[in-house]
Amino acid sequence: MKKIMENLYLVLVFLFLFLPIAVLILFSFNTSKLNIVFQGFTFHWYFDLFQNRTLLEALFHTLIVAGVSTVISVIVGTISAYGLHKYSFKGKNLINGLLYIPVVIPEIVLGIALLSVYTLLELELGLFTLILAHICFCIPFVIISVRSVLEGMDPHIEEVASDLGASKFQIFTKIVIPMLMPGILSGAQLALTLSLDDVVISYFTAGPGANTLPLQVYSMIKTGITPDVNALITIMLGIVFIILTISTVVQLRRFKKESSV
């Protein structure tokens, strides 16, 4: 009986998590534009999506902001995590404490703070300020992910490589970076996800010409979200599912290969 209840609880949890996604996908094929009741099956909204320039432009801005902010966050975050882990200097404890501020404070506080800084510096709001804001709140997540891997690394590996004649640059690029790759990839995935779905901080730091997909969807709530938005999100979900499937297959093949050696 206990096992049955546990399985039932697990099924209910998964239904709670994935049923809304399933409904969203279903309504992307709905013939009704009101998106309240499913009236019939159609692919019309998938064709109509590519005629919606506002939605496509918002998607383009989202991908640009997420891509650039993720790349810069990973580079800066990885180097910062390595420096904070390896070296001791004045103010290190203060920096370690400050790193968690963007993680724990409400997004609305960070958004208003960044807007105040931009106003003080007289920066015009746009894609540039939006990317800067996303880099700001993504870097701490990368640092935390990379440092978690650094904590488990053997500190003598770099010493051995140095004794064998490797330069500091070679040690960092050929030894440290490959060993940190799980943490780097985790930080990159976190940064990309956070940037793609951010609404609050983007609302305060994006200018009129830097509308992102989450902001566009948020602005459509009052008038009603059309099925072409559901179609776009369904396509994005499909792409993510394909990437995750390929990644899982590659990892399983690598695991089997390592196990057979």
Q: Which residues contact 110 (CB under 8 A, 6 or more apart)?
A: 102, 136, 137, 201
Domain enclosing residue 33, as ranges: 1-42+230-261
Same domain, 107 and 147: yes
Encoded tokens for 158: 């770099």
Same domain, 160 and 196: yes
Q: Which CATH number fits the domain that encloses residue 78?
A: 1.10.3720.10
Same domain, 30 and 71: no
Report, as an integer, the average pLDDT of 162-167: 82
| 240 exposure class (CB count in 10 Å sphere: 0-12, 13-18, 19+) | exposed
Residue 252 is assigned to a structural domain of this protein: yes
Q: Is the pLDDT of residue 258 over 70?
A: no
The percentage of residues in the chain with a pLDDT greater than 70, rounded to a whole number, is: 98
Same domain, 174 and 202: yes
Say what the pLDDT of residue 133 is: 95
Encoded tokens for 52: 């919606």
- Model confidence pLDDT, tens digit, residues 88-103: 888 888 888 888 888 8
**To the nearest whole number, what is the mean pLDDT of the chain?**
88
Q: Is the pLDDT of residue 241 over 80?
A: yes
Report, as an integer, the average pLDDT of 99-124: 91
Same domain, 178 and 133: yes
Same domain, 26 and 61: no
HEC-encoded secondary structure of the chain: CHHHHHHHHHHHHHHHHHHHHHHHHHHCCECCCCCCCCCCECCHHHHHHCCCHHHHHHHHHHHHHHHHHHHHHHHHHHHHHHHHHHCCCCCHHHHHHHCCHHHHCCHHHHHHHHHHHHHHCCCCCCHHHHHHHHHHHHHHHHHHHHHHHHCCCCCHHHHHHHHCCCCHHHHHHHHHHHHHHHHHHHHHHHHHHHHHCCCHHHHHHCCCCCCCHHHHHHHCCCCCCCHHHHHHHHHHHHHHHHHHHHHHHHHHHHHHHHHHC
Report, as an integer, the average pLDDT of 130-145: 94
- Model confidence pLDDT, tens digit, residues 20-60: 889 889 888 888 877 778 888 888 899 888 888 989 999 99
Taking the C-alpha atoms of residue 51 and residue 242, their distance in angstroms, rounded to an integer, is: 25
Domains held by the chain: number: 2
- Predicted TM-score of the model (pTM): 0.86
Report, as an integer, the average pLDDT of 1-17: 85
Lowest-pLDDT range of 65-74, 157-166, 169-178: 157-166
- Model confidence pLDDT, tens digit, residues 185-213: 889 989 999 999 899 999 999 988 888 99
The percentage of residues in the chain with a pLDDT greater than 90, rounded to a whole number, is: 36
